[in-house]
């Protein structure tokens, strides 16, 4: 299924913005490398069956790459539903379907736009790969996905209220009192895929901590 999704890239390329194309290319490179990693981790990947919920919160800042010029800082908080799905397995590495809803609040601004605060709500559909070696060592994860976001403000980087949000990230999984603590980071690209204005797009880094329940 993963290979099938990546095979759509040449078809979709004409409708994707520059930032989206970069995210998809990085994803392709990672999955190519992960093929070798999945063989090397044979017998160490320990999938957690079933489904779970988690909440997370963290800090956000924009990064001046791929057209981003508006320096913004803020917070993010969300809720995730994780479901173990063998259809998304990559070799011996177990795959999970992740459905996420989040709030994103940022402040910033660049001339001729005055400094402002923007509030956004978004949803993501992601695939997560988990490496959980036996023993007391923390597990690791990598995830990627796509979603939609609505913001109550436009800006120099974002010409539209509705935007698409390709994303990729990773981090560590820690066990604490039968719960899973997630510590991770995410590259979050926001743009309207060329449907309005110059579509400069904004790229953000999210640092977050999550807790399963």
Domains in the chain: ranges and CATH? 2-212 (2.40.160.20)
Q: Between the ranges 31-35, 45-49, 75-79, 111-115, where is the mean pLDDT highest?
A: 75-79
Q: Which two tokens stand for residue 48?
A: 């957690």
Q: Which two tokens stand for residue 104?
A: 């994103």
Of 101 and 26, the one with more pLDDT:
101
Average predicted confidence (pLDDT) for the chain: 81
Confidence at 136, pLDDT banded by 50, 70, 90: low
The single residue listed with the structure tokens 């011996």 is 92
pLDDT at 51: 93
Q: Sorting pLDDT into bands at 50, 70 and 90, what band is 163? A: very high
- What are 175-186's pLDDT values in tens digits? 888 889 999 999
**CA-CA distance, 180 to 87, in Å (whole number)?**
23
Q: Omega before 32 cis (within 30°)?
A: no
Task: Taking residues 155-172, report their average pLDDT.
Answer: 94
Query: For residue 191, what are the β-bridge partners?
Result: 164
Residue-level pLDDT at 197: 79
Q: Please state, in angstroms and rounded to a whole number, the distance separating the CA atoms of residues 150 and 121.
A: 5
Rounded distance between C-alpha atoms, residue 164 and residue 157, angstroms: 13
Q: Tokens 């800006």 sit at which residue?
A: 155
Q: What is the pLDDT of residue 10?
A: 46
Q: What is the pLDDT of residue 115?
A: 79
Within a 13 Å sphere around the CA of 55, how many CA atoms are in the beta-carbon half? 3
Q: Encode burial over 22-57: b for 16+ CB neighbours within 10 A, e otherwise.
A: bbbeebeeebeebeebbeebeeebeebeeeeebebe
Q: What are phi and psi of 50, to 5 degrees?
A: 80, -160
Q: By the 8 A CB rule, do 58 and 76 touch?
A: yes
Average pLDDT in the 82-111 region?
Answer: 93
Ranges 21-25, 192-196, 209-213, most confident: 209-213
CA distances from 53 to 34, 87, 97, 111, 129 (A): 26, 20, 12, 41, 16
pTM, full prediction: 0.76
pLDDT of residue 140: 95
């Amino acid at each position: 299924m993963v290979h099938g999704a990546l095979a759509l890239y040449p078809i979709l390329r004409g409708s994707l913005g520059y930032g989206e194309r970069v995210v998809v290319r990085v994803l392709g490179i990672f999955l190519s490398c992960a093929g070798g990693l999945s063989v090397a981790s044979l017998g160490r990947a320990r999938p957690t069956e079933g489904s779970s919920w988690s909440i997370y919160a963290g800090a956000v800042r924009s990064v001046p790459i791929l057209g981003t010029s508006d320096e913004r800082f803020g917070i993010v908080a969300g809720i995730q539903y994780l479901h173990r799905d063998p259809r998304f397995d990559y070799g011996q590495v177990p795959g999970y379907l992740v459905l996420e809803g989040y709030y994103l609040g940022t402040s910033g601004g660049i001339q001729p736009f005055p400094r402002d605060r923007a509030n956004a709500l978004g949803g993501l559909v992601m695939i997560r790969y988990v490496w959980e070696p036996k023993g007391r060592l923390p597990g690791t994860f990598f995830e990627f996905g796509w979603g939609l976001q609505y913001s109550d403000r436009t800006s120099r980087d974002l010409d539209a209220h509705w935007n698409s949000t390709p994303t990729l990230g990773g981090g560590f999984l820690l066990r604490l009192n039968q719960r899973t603590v997630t510590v991770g980071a995410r590259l979050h690209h926001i743009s309207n895929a060329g449907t309005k204005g110059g579509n400069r797009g904004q790229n953000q880094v999210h640092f977050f901590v999550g807790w399963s329940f």
